[in-house]
């Protein structure tokens, strides 16, 4: 029995090696080229999973869930492209899912763009955007049930109608690239429209805004438009198979930019809080972070009195994220978060020392009250002479 299994295994391996040997250089390059987006998208999926638990706000978790589905559809779509080159028969079984993934990419990414560019909580993403990405593949799947499998395999292999009776099916069966192109163009333009609107609202709310937020998102959307123009350069790519890496490299750059900026929190979400007033509900807009609002919160709440204070402890109260808050403190006060908090504690310590009611309290107790945790921390902060207000 073991001998039979070994012979079967050897036979399968031998056939596989023969198949690989018969593959042309063009096929090899095509498979390797299309493998990079699969690996990159799967890596980004893993990053979304690993950083999901570190999200402070529900909005951040929502974004990472949306990006996970985006990257997953990207990985599956490009994997189907590899299968299309490697095994036409297997691709026939996956064509409906491949169709769905290619057009779902644009919708899921626009969903993320929509959430990033919301200006208040009254805006809700319409799930009707997902109707066509589901309906079109379902129609293809049902239609495929009435077409012989060998005909579908032949269509994939030669990419041309075999008989007049299958002409329209062939065009529909192989139309995913054109439909994906149209979806990507429409939703990229919609994303740019929302981004420009978001910048206009932010400029109105923050008159002293030096740099518009989400500039990286604008770069990504413009790269999408540039990628859509790549087919116009087909004559150039025909001269060398290796030039196919250029559009793939652009895609990898886009995926990396989006994943990095979402993970580090390089965005500002404008959220609102619903308040009940008698029989009616009022929507109270949460103002964007500015110096007046930030200092009022620090002055009234005194979070620095907590010796275990972390920057993430303030993000929920201030309705912002870690990266934006850190950047805000650096640009506004010329120091990092820890230095700013210690400066506030030194101010509190100075007020204690000037208060006659604290005359009999030891320096250690006063330092602990001021939020330093211990007297040594107070001495270290005072030695650095960081008070510069």
Quickly list DSSP for 146-196: TS-HHHHHHHHHH-S-SSGGGHHHHHHHT-HHHHHHHHHHHHHHHHHHHHH
Lowest-pLDDT range of 119-133, 284-298, 347-361, 368-382: 284-298
Q: What residues contact 64, with CB distance under 8 A and at least 6 apart?
A: 48, 51, 52, 55, 262
* 96 has a pLDDT exceeding 50: yes
**Residue corresponding to tokens 């350069």:** 233
CB 101 within 8 A of CB 140: no
Nearest of 302, 62, 377 to residue 314 by alpha carbon = 302
Nearest of 215, 212, 214, 190 to residue 202 by alpha carbon = 212
Task: Please give the residue that has the higher pLDDT: either 110 or 167.
Answer: 110
pLDDT tier for residue 28 given thresholds of 50, 70 and 90: low
CB-facing half-sphere around the CA of 216: CA atoms within 13 A: 16
Looking at residue 188, its pLDDT comes to 94
Query: What span, in angstroms and rounded, lies between the C-alpha atoms of 381 and 342?
Result: 7
Residues 291-387: name the CATH superfamily.
Answer: Homeodomain-like (1.10.10.60)
Task: Please tell me which of 222-236, 278-292, 336-350 the model is most confident about, judged by mean pLDDT.
Answer: 336-350
Q: Taking residues 299-321, report their average pLDDT.
A: 82
Mean pLDDT of the chain: 78
Q: Taking residues 188-196, report their average pLDDT.
A: 94
The alpha carbons of the chain give a radius of gyration, in whole angstroms, of 29
In the chain, domain spans: 26-264, 291-387
Looking at residue 275, its pLDDT comes to 40
pLDDT tier for residue 290 given thresholds of 50, 70 and 90: confident
Topology adopted by domain 26-264: Rhopdopsin 7-helix transmembrane proteins (1.20.1070)
Distance between the two ends of the chain, CA-based, in angstroms? 84
Looking at residue 382, its pLDDT comes to 82
269 burial via Cβ count (<10 Å: 0-12, 13-18, 19+): buried
Report pLDDT digits (tens) over 155-180.
Answer: 887 755 555 678 888 888 888 888 99
Lowest-pLDDT range of 91-100, 118-127, 158-167, 363-372: 158-167
Looking at residue 218, its pLDDT comes to 92
Looking at residue 191, its pLDDT comes to 94
367 burial via Cβ count (<10 Å: 0-12, 13-18, 19+): buried
Query: What span, in angstroms and rounded, lies between the C-alpha atoms of 155 and 159?
Result: 5
Coil/strand/helix, residue 17:
helix
Query: What span, in angstroms and rounded, lies between the C-alpha atoms of 209 and 328?
Result: 11
Report pLDDT digits (tens) over 9-19.
Answer: 545 444 444 44
Query: What span, in angstroms and rounded, lies between the C-alpha atoms of 189 and 195?
Result: 10
Q: Taking residues 217-231, report their average pLDDT.
A: 85
Q: What pTM was computed for the model?
A: 0.69
pLDDT tier for residue 20 given thresholds of 50, 70 and 90: very low
Task: Please give the residue that has the higher pLDDT: either 42 or 325.
Answer: 42
* 136 has a pLDDT exceeding 80: yes
Q: Taking residues 360-369, report their average pLDDT.
A: 85
Report pLDDT digits (tens) over 35-86.
Answer: 888 999 999 999 999 888 777 677 788 889 999 999 999 999 989 888 887 7
Opening angle at CA 41, ends 103 and 136, nearest 5: 15
Query: What span, in angstroms and rounded, lies between the C-alpha atoms of 349 and 353?
Result: 6
């Amino acid at each position: 029995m073991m001998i039979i299994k070994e012979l079967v295994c050897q036979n399968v391996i031998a056939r596989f090696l023969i198949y690989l040997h018969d593959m042309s250089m063009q096929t090899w390059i095509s498979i390797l080229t299309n493998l990079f987006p699969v690996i990159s998208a799967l890596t980004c999926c893993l990053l979304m999973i690993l950083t999901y638990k570190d999200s402070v706000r529900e909005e951040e978790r929502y974004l990472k869930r949306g990006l996970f589905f985006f990257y997953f559809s990207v990985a599956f779509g490009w994997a189907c492209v590899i299968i299309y080159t490697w095994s036409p028969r297997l691709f026939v079984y996956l064509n409906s899912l491949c169709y769905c993934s290619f057009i779902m990419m644009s919708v899921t990414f626009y969903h993320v763009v929509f959430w990033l560019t919301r200006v208040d909580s009254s805006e809700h993403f319409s799930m009707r955007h997902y109707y066509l990405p589901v309906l079109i593949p379902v129609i293809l799947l049902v239609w495929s049930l009435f077409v012989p499998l060998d005909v579908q395999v032949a269509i994939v292999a030669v990419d041309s109608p075999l008989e007049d009776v299958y002409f329209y099916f062939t065009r529909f069966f192989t139309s995913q690239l054109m439909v994906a192109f149209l979806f990507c163009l429409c939703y990229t333009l919609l994303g740019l429209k929302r981004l420009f609107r978001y910048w206009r609202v932010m400029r109105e709310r923050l008159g002293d805004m030096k740099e518009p937020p989400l500039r990286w998102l604008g770069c990504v959307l413009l790269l999408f438009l540039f990628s859509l123009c790549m087919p116009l350069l087909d004559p150039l790519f025909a001269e060398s198979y290796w030039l196919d890496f250029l559009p793939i490299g652009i895609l990898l750059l886009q995926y990396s930019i989006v994943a990095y900026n979402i993970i580090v929190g390089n965005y500002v979400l404008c959220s609102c809080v619903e308040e009940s007033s008698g029989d009616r509900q009022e929507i109270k807009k949460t103002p964007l972070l500015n110096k007046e609002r930030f200092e009022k919160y620090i002055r009234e709440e005194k979070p620095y009195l907590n010796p275990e204070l972390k920057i993430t402890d303030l993000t929920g109260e201030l309705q912002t994220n870690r990266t934006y808050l850190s950047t805000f403190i650096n640009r506004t006060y010329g120091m990092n978060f820890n230095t700013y908090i210690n400066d506030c504690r030194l101010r509190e310590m100075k007020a204690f020392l000037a208060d006659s009611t604290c005359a009999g309290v030891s320096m250690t107790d006063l330092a602990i009250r001021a939020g330093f945790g211990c007297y040594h921390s107070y001495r270290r902060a005072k030695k650095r002479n960081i008070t510069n207000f």
